[in-house]
Structures are given as structure tokens and as C-alpha cells.
């Protein structure tokens, strides 16, 4: 069995590194949901057709996609048998590994080669690998190279504490009090680093938490939207559904029907690549 343990130097910055397989359906589309991470999706041999859901003019074809923090769903359309490598980075990981703040990517999907010229050849190098362990090792080496180039340029401890405070509280005021700063200072700091407001970041964290609970409940065959809403910090089920529709472009029930555990078991061999971040 392959050793999938990640290098200890990368674990603070990489939330996930995995293979993906969207299956053989030539007409398939995947909805990339908002999350608190930045994603990089590298298909095996073909480019990706991606854009923002409900905005046909935003569609682009990219060889490898970097998707920043976003509060609305993206849509990926597969061509043929779509498979490749998917990784998600914490906002701090973007600066430490890629050398730029997450704010530079917020609300955008971009070509990996444009964001990180040093990784321009990564899609072709991955396509030449013969196994997942080879591909994983190659990606880790490139990330470690980036860490060596960029990690020493900034002290990330303060921002790490800031994101922890925002994730652990339901109100921006509470996070500011924990950090011992004003809401104005907190807002300026978060906007500069992430490209979203503190409240928007909390929305992303809450939505991501709710998505995880919804998937777990569906997998256990015990779906209760009211229970998921309450456990995730929403005022009630109606609030949860409104927020999900705003951020995902559909209701939780509609999303589960199209891309939940039951749907994936029929269409996918592994988790689809953009379910957490994106699109991205």
C-alpha cells in the first residue's frame, strides 16, 4: 500500500492532495462550491472548461486551474474521461508555497502557469508519470521548492491566529476581541491577505462545515437539514437553505441529488475535484 503521508513541512499549508476521477460521461458537469481554501486542479491530459455558474460569458478553457476564495459556485464541464490531480491550500499556504497573498486570487480562476511560472511544466510532467505515488511525489517536490523560495519572506503567525479566531467565533466582533484589535484593523488585515471581508471568511467556513455535515448525514442515510443547520451555526433551516442557494446556486437537496454520496457512487471512482473549493 502506498504511503500517502504528506511531508511535515507541507501539512500546515496543504489541506488536501489527491487524485480525482470525474468518470466517462462526456456531458458531465461539476459544481464547484465555495470554501475556505484555494484549489489547484491539474487534469491528466486535457484542459478544463470552467466558469462561474449562471455566467456563460465567464467560461474559459485552462490547462491547469488555480481558483481563489469565492462566494459563489463555479462550474466545471468535463471532456471525455476527466481525471487528474487536485490539491487545496490554506490561505496561508498560498503565500508560503506560491509566493503571493490569497487576495491576489480572490474571486478568480487563473492558469497555473500564469500564477506560478515555476510550475508551468507541471501538467506535462504529471501526464508523463505512470502511477499515483509518482504524481504525488512530484507535486510535493514542487510545493517544497516553493516553500523554500517563499516561506521565509513573511511572518505568518499573526494571520494564522487571525484565521483561527474567525473560524472559532460566530461574529467578527468576538474575533476582534480575542485578537485584541479593532474591527476596522481586523477588516483591513483580512481583506489585504485574503481578498474577502472577515464576515465573508466566516461565511465560507460555516458553509464548508455545513457541507461536510450534510455529506456525512447523507452517507449515513440520516439527512435532517434542520439538524445540519443548527449544528453549523445557522439561525434555522430556512436560513441555511437561503445561504446554500446564494452560495451554491441550488438548494442543499438539489445539490445532494446531483453530487451527493449516492450520485458520486454511481458516477465517480473518487471524490470530484472541486467540491470543496471551487471550483477552484
pLDDT at 101 over 50: yes
Contacts 24+ apart (CB under 8 A), 226-234: 228/252, 232/206, 233/170, 233/206, 233/209, 234/206, 234/210
8 A C-beta contact, residue 99 and residue 142: no
**pLDDT for 76:** 84
**pLDDT for 23:** 62
**pLDDT for 272:** 40
Residue 270 — very low, low, confident or very high, per pLDDT cuts 50/70/90?
Answer: very low
Is the C-alpha dihedral spanning 7, 8, 11, 13 positive or negative?
negative
**pLDDT for 5:** 79
**pLDDT for 80:** 62
**pLDDT for 207:** 97
pLDDT for 177-233, tens place per residue? 999 999 999 999 999 999 999 999 999 999 999 999 999 999 888 889 999 999 999
Question: Would you state the cell numbers that stand for residue 69, as one nine-digit string?
Answer: 476564495
Closest CA to 39 of 71, 4, 15, 72: 15
**pLDDT for 258:** 84
Instruction: Please give the model's pTM, rounded to 2 decimal places.
Output: 0.89
**pLDDT for 6:** 87
**pLDDT for 135:** 95
pLDDT for 36-86, tens place per residue? 999 999 988 788 889 898 888 888 999 999 999 999 999 887 666 667 899
**pLDDT for 201:** 98
Stretch 258-269: mean pLDDT: 58
| 186 vs 276: CA distance, rounded Å | 26
Stretch 138-157: mean pLDDT: 87
**pLDDT for 278:** 36
pLDDT for 102-146, tens place per residue? 999 999 999 999 999 999 999 999 999 999 999 999 999 999 999
8 A C-beta contact, residue 82 and residue 23: yes
φ, ψ dihedrals at 160, nearest 5°: -60, -45
**pLDDT for 56:** 80
**pLDDT for 121:** 96
Amino acid at each position: 500500500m502506498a504511503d500517502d503521508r504528506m511531508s511535515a513541512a507541507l501539512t500546515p499549508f496543504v489541506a488536501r492532495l489527491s487524485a480525482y476521477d470525474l468518470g466517462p460521461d462526456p456531458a458531465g458537469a461539476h459544481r464547484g462550491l465555495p470554501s475556505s481554501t484555494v484549489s489547484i486542479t491539474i487534469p491528466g491530459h486535457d484542459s478544463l472548461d470552467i466558469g462561474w455558474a449562471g455566467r456563460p460569458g465567464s467560461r474559459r478553457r485552462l490547462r491547469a486551474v488555480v481558483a481563489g476564495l469565492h462566494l459563489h459556485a463555479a462550474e466545471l464541464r468535463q471532456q471525455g474521461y476527466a481525471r487528474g490531480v487536485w490539491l487545496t491550500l490554506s490561505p496561508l499556504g498560498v503565500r508560503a508555497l506560491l509566493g503571493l497573498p490569497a487576495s491576489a486570487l480572490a474571486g478568480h480562476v487563473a492558469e497555473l502557469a500564469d500564477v506560478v511560472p515555476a510550475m508551468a511544466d507541471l501538467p506535462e510532467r504529471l501526464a508523463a508519470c505512470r502511477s499515483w505515488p509518482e504524481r504525488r511525489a512530484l507535486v510535493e517536490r514542487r510545493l517544497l521548492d516553493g516553500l523554500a523560495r517563499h516561506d521565509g519572506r513573511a511572518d505568518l503567525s499573526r494571520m494564522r491566529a487571525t484565521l483561527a479566531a474567525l473560524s472559532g467565533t460566530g461574529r467578527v466582533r468576538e474575533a476582534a476581541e480575542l485578537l485584541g484589535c479593532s474591527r476596522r484593523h481586523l477588516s483591513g488585515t483580512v481583506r489585504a491577505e485574503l481578498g474577502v471581508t472577515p464576515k465573508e471568511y466566516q461565511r465560507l467556513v460555516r458553509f464548508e462545515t455545513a457541507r461536510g455535515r450534510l455529506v456525512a448525514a447523507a452517507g449515513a442515510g440520516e439527512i435532517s437539514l434542520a439538524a445540519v443547520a443548527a449544528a453549523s451555526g445557522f439561525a434555522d433551516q430556512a436560513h441555511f437553505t437561503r445561504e446554500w442557494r446564494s452560495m451554491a446556486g441550488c438548494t442543499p437537496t438539489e445539490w445532494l441529488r446531483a453530487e451527493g454520496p449516492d450520485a458520486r457512487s454511481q458516477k465517480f471512482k473518487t471524490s470530484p475535484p472541486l467540491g470543496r473549493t471551487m471550483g477552484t
